[in-house]
Chain A
Amino acid sequence: MQSHGSRRSSLPLSRRTMLRGLGVSMALPWLESIPVWGNEPTRAAAAGQAPLRFACLFSGNGFHSREWWAKGTGKDMELGKVLEPLASHKEKLLLIRGLYNEEALKGNIHSSQTGNLLSGAPLSAGGAIRSGTSIDQVLAQRIGNQTKVPSLVLACEPAMAAVHKNYSMLYSSHISWSSPTTPTPLELYPALAFDRLFKDDDQQHDQSVLDAVLTEANSLRGRISRTDQVKLDEYLNSVREVEQRLERAGKDHHLQGWRPTLDKPNISRPPDGVPHDIAEHMRLMSDILVLAFQTDTTRFCTLKLNNDHSSLRFPNLNVDYMIHHLLSHTDSADWLKVNRFFVEQVAYIATRLDTIQEGEHTALDNTMLLYCSSMLNGGHDATQLPVVILGRGGGQLETGRVLDYRGKPNRKMCSLYLSLMDKYGVKLPEFGDSRERLAEV
């Protein structure tokens, strides 16, 4: 594994120096961006610089109550048994303890601990659906238009259609929210996720059709109630976004002059349907996430490995007798085994990203991969959430550290989100229940 200094100042400068020194003898695909660089001298600083990606991976029901921990720094970091699969990424890893969402402590267990995980928003009960726009979607909506697909929202377990103790189970199965009333639809099918990234069947005349439905929707809007208008606006906005995508199609939308290391997929389209085996399902979705970043088809992706209140079983691990949710109440060896299986998925993605060379860094260096759950352990404890970040955010994130906020006054998840968003140039005065940043991040 390659290792670079983690000080952010060293990044752009050293690469440019190095390029001058070596000329164009480095036979890296990344060098294709050089002509762009040359053509746009005024944007030279930004041109050719790999974009910063954000991925959020989620698994429900928390982890083993005694094995989620880390201590020490860098290479010498020690990891609890749950986190051991991340051992090879110690230097690119930031473990944060003690963060929480105030709103998740109210309401029900499970569902109301999950639906607002990435927004910190209050949740509506009593049959209504209301949360907050999640961090991935805030980023996608502000800067996601630089790629073909603004964001990708993947899942390996279908959503649950029920209401549990007066809270819709939508909350248990959606961490990504496009608006406070719109959980982002989950793509469960690897093949369809692949198509969404790479299938180009939009045609020019589609524009006329979309114009027509937009006209109809606008004229309908005047005839329905205000509340209905809000609902219809979801439709209007969706049509507009698809239209914008059509407009962008064909244009070179690599605004930074960035040329991805792959310009088309290097894996074939996954088979139709949902894989029977959960390990295979997670692997395919992980590959798609990596491919999406590598081809720069999207820069924002959430991957929900399972639901909170999940009913997955794990015959692949020989843990077949109990579903994930019930297993979370046991703190057993099998529970640990299942925890590690999930963390292995995170490690897999990190490793894949880390082998993709982008200039003198890797795709992992240019990514922030957040992994979290809705509770610390099966006992529904959401007063301190398990959070780990992999990747160095283009050199902006100091990794190889453990931050512990337990007992500190400012320990809100939303403060972390504000800090992270800053690194994408999305500087918000407040988010969810926080107006502060985490200074150490």
Chain B
Amino acid sequence: MSIRSTWLLVFGLMCLAWPALGAGDDAAVFATLTKDFESKTHPILKQYCLKCHSTEAQEGDLDLERFQALEQIRREPRVWEKVVEMLDNGEMPPKKSRQLSDLQRTELRGWVRSYLDAEARANAGDPGPVVLRRLSNVEYDNTMRDLMGIDLKPAREFPVDGAAGEGFTNVGEALMMSPAMLDKYVAAAKGIVAHAVLLPDGFRFSEKSTRRDWTDEIMTEIRRLYARYTDAKGARRVQLQGLDFQAESGGRIPLEKYLTATLDYRALPAAGRKTIADFAAERDLSPKYLQIVWDLLNGHETSPLIDNIRSRWRAAQASDLPGLAVEIRQWQAAVTKFNSVAHFKPWMEPVNPLTESQAFRVKLDSPENAGDMVIRLVTHDAGDGSTGDVVAWTQPRLESPGRPPVLLRDVQDGLRGIAAKRLTFAETAKYLAAADGARGQTTAIDLPALAKTHGLDTSMLRAWLGYLGIAGQGPLEIPGLFRERIQNGGGYNFVKGWGLPNLPSLLANSSDQEVRIPGTLKPHSVVVHPAPTQNVAAGWRSPIKGRVKVEAQVVHAHAACGNGVAWYLEQRRGRERRRLTSGELNLGQTAKIEPINDLVVEPGDLIALVIAARNNDHSCDLTSVDLTVSEAAEPARTWILSRDLTKDILASNPLADSHGNPDVWHFYQEKSTGDDGSSLWSIPHGSILDRWRDSVQKSERDQLAEQLQQLLTQGPTGAKDQPDSVLYRQLTSLSGPLLGTLDFSALSAEVRKAGAQAAPADLAYGLPREAFGKLPQESGLVTSASSVLEVRLPADLASGREFIVTATLENQAGRDGSVQTQVVVTPVTASSLIPGLPILVRNGSATKSRFEKSLDEFRSVFPIAVCYPQIVPVDEVVTLVLFHREDEGLSRLMLSEDEHKRLDRMWDQLRYISQDALRVQEAYGQFMEYVTQDGDVRIFEPLRKPIAQRAEAFQKRLIATEPVHVDSVIAFAARAYRRPLQAKEQAELRELYGKLRQQKLDHDTAFRLMLARILMAPSFLYRVEQSADSVESKPVTEWELASRLSYFLWSSMPDDELRQLADQGKLHEPEVLASQMKRMLKDERVRALATEFGCQWLDIRGFDVHNEKSEKVFPEFAGLRSAMYEESVRFLMDLFQEDESVLNVLDADYTFVNETLARFYGIPGVTGPQWRRVDGVKAFGRGGILGMASLLSKQAGASRTSPILRGNWLAEMLLGEKLPKPPKNVPILPESELDTNGLTMRQITEKHRELESCAKCHVRIDPFGFALESFDAIGRRRTTDLAGRSIDTSAQTKDGSRFTDISGLRDYLLAKRREEFVRQFCRKLLGYSLGRAVELSDQPLLEQMQQKLTAKDGHVQAAMLTLIQSSQFRERRGLASPLEQEQAQP
């Protein structure tokens, strides 16, 4: 323990016994000094000094006359330090005055030295005056960084800190506070608290400052965990409102990796093989899942699905694995389906492939002339043998809209019936004659009677009349004429029309404006929108008799969604309907419709353009339509739908035309026939039959009828696309408009009634009638596993129809069976369990239970996805879900307990941070209010309550977590203050919170203000150390010691380990302190020691932004300076971290470079931007601080070198020499190396020495600078200067040493000036560590540090350890002395 004695002396308390050891020696020493002062020293002073330095004259502000006795001297030892300095520098007495003899000089100097030594020893260990320090800007930034975990550098725009003490910015005296500075702290604190993120259990800080960003951060983290175990396969592209999204992607198990791992593991010798867990860890796989898969594959319990996989795996080589993975994926897809999650549905839903019956609908399409079609009914045994596998196929049949069905049973007989009907083609003329007669008939037609009258086949006559559209000439009726007006279509007052509010409808835009309603409605155009089973039509009812041209335009107007529409154009007369043309349209397409010329119209005929929803899907079917009818002959009027309608569509329905005819335009709906127009055939325009129909002369009609008969019996002669060729094909086709309408059931009955024998050719198709009827339904078939039943059909019959059948297990024999059935048209063989196909089993059967169990097992181990990785749903236009969590599989199969907990915590944070419960409630409200476009919102009504409850629960939770946040702020304060909080301080913080809430501030704001308050608190901004209440020095507290250590080594707050040790009261223990120092020096944060101590000592701090070089002379400098700085910083960091010798600062043969700097230095073999240590750099003139470009540049001019600056720096900074003040009116130096009258910088500098006043300093500094002249003003090696003159680096120092260049200088310093250098290092380190100037009483400690360094080969940590264990570092002065107090008064 040391005590402060200086001020005690003031009160003449010398008589007090010194508690320190050796006090008795001190007394003896001071007694001797007193004696010597009186007898020798004082007389010399009187004789040589007091004339100028009298109380009266005070030359140079120095009064030595007042020192009459030792007591007075001891009050101001600093004065005597100065005296020694002056004597040593030879400055005093002045040259002109009387000079001391050598003996006198020695005696005087000796006495003062002895006195100072005694004084230093007497007060050794005094902690010295360390004034309250504010955190420097660097300390503030670093402390914020370590406190918050993010590096915001809030002090970057603060005013630059000043330096004091030994030249560092961590000295209290230079760290001022003022209102402007306080404003900066307030602004910084407010800025920082915006980065606090409230969490359920406290808070954290984020780089970002918006809730949106915080939400994204946590989502990214969750996704990262998801992605760690899954891969992104399986994406499906979806389009929403015209935008592409990837749906259902990711969350998939990387099956191949795990399967490969099982195979590789299997290949290891079983004896002594590593655990699955270790094996998985090596491959970065989930140990848990690998174990599960391994166990499954090596299991034995039978299970239909797994058995199959297992047996494939057992036989598998590596090359078989992809196939196995494919099989598993097929099953995954078969047993699971995906939902859109936007409305609170689960993403994945199990699909049960077990079924009692399977219905098939196979569309049969055959290219022309492809020959017969074969349908195959396949029965597979489902992998478990064929016991009980008897399948009933119910009502196998062919269907097509608008035609009678064709039972498979009736095919053979029916085809024979058709053959008979074909024979009637020879009587075609008679059929047409009968039809001609029926055409004029006004009453309903009695077909059998008509047939009988003409001697014709009734069914054929019915077919003919149907084809010709002759149904008896009743009046034309339009029952679906729209009655309701639509005023504000799509919310626009210029969009009006007819129809039902919820479709179908027809609208006209009367404006010049294009609008979206949604779907595009162009200016002056008409659109229609069908309903699922209701077509919309716009019809023109002819007011004329004659020939017209009909043109139609159909454009799908809503390209973003839906499936397009079907359309047709028809002519109606009475009950006749004639399909003119038809087609289908895809999204956004425009139909290509050939104009129809020369169409004959009668008054009252209707020409209608009809739009149908395609496949009953009416979403986004808005379709733009137009219809133009033009008279072929005079007066050649035209009727244009869009023109007539956009004037005043609402006037009436039907609407008058623009030529004054009433009731021309008709807008109506009509039940969809479901055929979309494809099966209603139109009579080819220009064909015989077409002409027959339009002919007005009987004789001509008869003639044409004869021609048709000839065509049908003899076949066409023209090209394939001739109207008559087309007509022929239509009329003779089994699925055509004539024969295709015949009922096979009736035909079959007819044939069987006739009892005619079937010819062998007839038996080629269908199945024998005996094959049917083994079931209750007589038209059914029965098969057994494994089998393929083939049925041949004429392509002409099958094409365009659907084959429909339902398969079930047969009631009795198939009760315990299990099969998979298929209906296919391509050849196939029956096999065992096929992935993806439904499995037929009977409800309640043991077989079904067995399969169910197997499916569960499969889903549990091989779920299609283990998590929903998107988190944010993008699968619906409107989403009510902000974040969807579905990751049960991931947790169950892959995550460790810790990972699972972490995942739970992250999700909890996501919900908490995003406040999604509240956001969803808001969104729901808006949704229910505004979303009415596409159907019924009532289905969302049940969500109202759960959403409200969730929001309410979250509100409660927010309130419940408020006290948690207040507590965490208090805990934060303890970290920020770097000590535990007193109870009173805690209470005050809570009080502040209460007060802010009373001011009607919300919790969030009050919380942030509390944080801000802590960050502007004196306990945070200042390194407060409590004073001992005694006059003696006392150890600082454990917490203060922790801060002393951390701010010394890191320029930042103590970390957790230091805090823990402080809390345990162990930090002061010397070995703990030592080990902590070693630990801390390894840390990256030591960079601050390098920059704040090292670089500041060497005067290169902030060199990375050094801006003092001429851009003209050194344009490259700006690109080099940060690399130059980084070299120095890394060198110094390494010195401390690796415990290098302090002499390396002078003598290192290594340095740190990247490619940029290495190239500048001419060091070969360094590529890339990364930093590395390079040895052997002396060979390139580098090594140690003297070879560093940072230092060499800093101590030079803007465009030229300066031996003076470099030499002065070396003398003062490195060696600690005290140089006198330069004389007034120093001579002027030239401005550039090119402008020196032929002299080199060295020669110019040497001229200085011709002046005696200059010489006494320049002999001490210039030689160092000369030796470094081989580096230019930015530290580049050179042999000539900018003017091309060669460089002379030889130097001779004041002590007579001679050397050249950097190497000579280095050797000189090591040999002759080593001690001064080491002392200077120790002095600077001491001053930095304490944040004050070095005092006389520190001398013993400095000596001790030097000794340790010498003893430990210069390793820096030796000196540092001595330092931190010294009383200076560990103690604090007691009450301030009166003198000090007096000085402290402002």
Residues of A near any B CB (own CB < 8 A): 106, 108-109, 126-130, 150, 153, 158-163, 165, 168-170, 173-174, 178-189, 192, 196, 204-206, 208-209, 212-213, 215-217, 219-220, 223-228, 230-232, 234-235, 237-239, 241-242, 245, 311, 313, 315, 320-323, 326-327, 329-332, 334, 379-381
Contacts and interface: CB of A to CB of B under 8 A. Distances in A.
A315 B999 CA distance: 55
A150 to B, nearest CB: 8
B178 A228 contact: no
A209 B1016 contact: yes
A322 B1231 contact: yes
13 contacts: A106-B61, A127-B166, A161-B1101, A186-B159, A192-B157, A206-B186, A223-B1027, A225-B1376, A227-B1384, A231-B1022, A311-B1108, A321-B1199, A330-B1231
In the complex, which of the residues A179, A187, A212, A313 has the most CB atoms of chain B within 10 Å of its own CB atom? A212
Contact of A181 (B171, B173, B1380): B173
A227 B163 contact: no
A249 to B, nearest CB: 13
A235 B1226 contact: no
A315 B1379 CA distance: 51
Nearest to B1200: A321
B183 interface: yes
Nearest to A318: B1112
Nearest to B1101: A161
B182 A321 contact: no
Contacts of B132: 224, 227-228, 231-232
B167 interface: yes
B1026 interface: yes
A170 B162 contact: yes
B176 A183 contact: yes
A153 B176 CA distance: 15
B163 A220 contact: no
A337 to B, nearest CB: 13
Interface of B: 61, 78, 129, 131-132, 134, 157-167, 169, 171-174, 176-184, 186, 984-985, 988-989, 992, 995-996, 999, 1001, 1005, 1009, 1012-1013, 1016-1019, 1021-1022, 1024-1027, 1096, 1099, 1101-1102, 1107-1108, 1110-1113, 1197-1200, 1212, 1219, 1221-1222, 1224-1226, 1228-1229, 1231-1232, 1327, 1332-1333, 1373, 1375-1376, 1380-1381, 1384-1386
A329 to B, nearest CB: 5
Nearest to A274: B157
A434 to B, nearest CB: 19
Contacts, number: 250
A227 B1381 contact: yes
Given A169-B162, A232-B132, A189 B157 contact: yes
Contacts of A217: 1018
Contacts of B1228: 329-331
Contact of B1386 (A106, A180, A196, A242): A180
A231 B177 CA distance: 8
Given A162-B167, A205-B1009, A320 B1110 contact: yes
B162 A161 contact: yes
In the complex, which of the residues A150, A213, A215 has the most CB atoms of chain B within 10 Å of its own CB atom? A213
In the complex, which of the residues B163, B180, B1219 has the most CB atoms of chain A within 10 Å of its own CB atom? B180
A59 to B, nearest CB: 17
A109 B1111 CA distance: 29
Nearest to B160: A159
Given A161-B1096, A223-B1027, A321 B1198 contact: yes
Given A159-B161, A216-B985, 4 more contacts: A170-B164, A223-B1026, A226-B1381, A227-B1380
B1197 A322 contact: yes
Contacts of B1212: 165
Given A126-B78, A321-B1198, A242 B179 contact: yes
B162 A235 contact: no
Contacts of B1022: 231-232, 235
Contacts of A332: 1231
A37 B1000 CA distance: 40
Contact of B182 (A130, A192, A232, A235): A235
Contacts of B1021: 235
In the complex, which of the residues B158, B171, B1112, B1386 has the most CB atoms of chain A within 10 Å of its own CB atom? B1386
Nearest to B165: A127
Contact of B996 (A174, A208, A238): A208
A153 B181 CA distance: 11
Contacts of A241: 179, 182
B299 to A, nearest CB: 67
A368 B330 CA distance: 90
Given A178-B178, A208-B999, A223-B1027, A165 B1221 contact: yes
Contact of B1013 (A212, A237, A238): A212
A239 to B, nearest CB: 6
Given A168-B162, A188-B159, A381 B1224 contact: yes
Contacts of A379: 1224-1226
Contacts of A245: 179
B1037 to A, nearest CB: 11
Contacts of A323: 1108, 1197-1198
Nearest to A183: B176
Nearest to A126: B1333
Nearest to B1230: A330
Contacts of B995: 208
Nearest to A193: B180
Contacts of A381: 1224-1225
Contacts of B1107: 311, 313
In the complex, which of the residues B165, B177, B1009, B1027 has the most CB atoms of chain A within 10 Å of its own CB atom? B177
Contacts of A185: 158-159, 176, 178, 180-181, 184
A213 B1024 CA distance: 14
B1324 to A, nearest CB: 11
A238 B182 contact: yes
A213 B1027 contact: no
Contacts of B157: 189, 192
Nearest to A65: B1225
Given A209-B1009, A216-B985, A320 B1112 contact: yes
Contacts of B161: 159, 161
A127 B130 CA distance: 12
Contact of A232 (B171, B1018, B1221): B1018
A186 B1221 CA distance: 28
Contacts of B1198: 313, 320-323, 326
B178 A326 contact: no
Nearest to A218: B1018
B178 A212 contact: no
Given A163-B166, A231-B132, A235-B1018, A225 B1197 contact: no
Nearest to B1013: A209
A128 B1199 CA distance: 35
A132 B876 CA distance: 73
Contacts of A153: 180
Contact of A231 (B131, B1009, B1200, B1385): B131
Contacts of B1017: 213, 216
In the complex, which of the residues A109, A129, A174, A224 has the most CB atoms of chain B within 10 Å of its own CB atom? A129
A168 to B, nearest CB: 5
Nearest to A105: B61
Contacts of A209: 992, 1009, 1012-1013, 1016
B1224 A380 contact: yes
B1018 A168 contact: no
B760 to A, nearest CB: 98
B999 A129 contact: no
A182 B1019 contact: no
A238 B179 contact: yes
B159 to A, nearest CB: 4
A231 B1005 CA distance: 32
Contacts of B1222: 109, 380
B178 A238 contact: yes
